[in-house]
Amino acid sequence: MKIMVINGPNLARLDIRDSSIYGDLNYAELKSLIETSASSAGMQADVRQSNDEATIIGWLHEAADAKLPVIINPAAFTHYSYAIRDAAELLKAPLIEVHLSNPMAREEFRHTSVISGVASGTIAGFGPNSYVLAINALKSLLG
């Protein structure tokens, strides 16, 4: 089973972001954790990252066309990208929204997710383990 894991803006810069919020892994280590966890669950993870909204929309279209399950960390796009939300809504396979931090424990503008309403579920606040939990959730949803 192939899954797509989409990471939004600034996630490739984890090594220079606030480790008290985003953890101690750099992006390569996060990608490796995701790939290893997916493999252990019998899945192949296609892990991608972009700072560009249009690229993320294109990837969601690709996943929709291929009927691929998606784990997405839309990062800052979580709070305002209706275009990404509309593309995510096209998915027929499960979609799990993931966040390293807990947006509800942060600034008020982070309390709104335009993605959650079209996601199968949201996992947030467990650092890199949010992805591991999402992989396990996908496995359960897919049977």
27 is catalytic: no
Q: Please enumerate, as own/partner, the contacts of 99-107 that have beta carbons within 8 Å and a separation of 24 or more.
A: 99/73, 99/123, 99/124, 99/125, 99/130, 100/21, 100/22, 100/23, 100/73, 100/124, 100/126, 100/127, 100/128, 100/130, 101/21, 101/22, 101/125, 101/127, 103/78, 106/21
For the chain, list the domains and their CATH numbers: 2-142 (3.40.50.9100)
22 is catalytic: yes
Catalytic residue among 27, 82, 99, 111: 99
Predicted TM-score of the model (pTM): 0.92
pLDDT in tens, 108-142: 877 689 999 999 999 999 999 999 999 999 999 99
Bind-site residues:
73, 79, 86, 100-101, 110
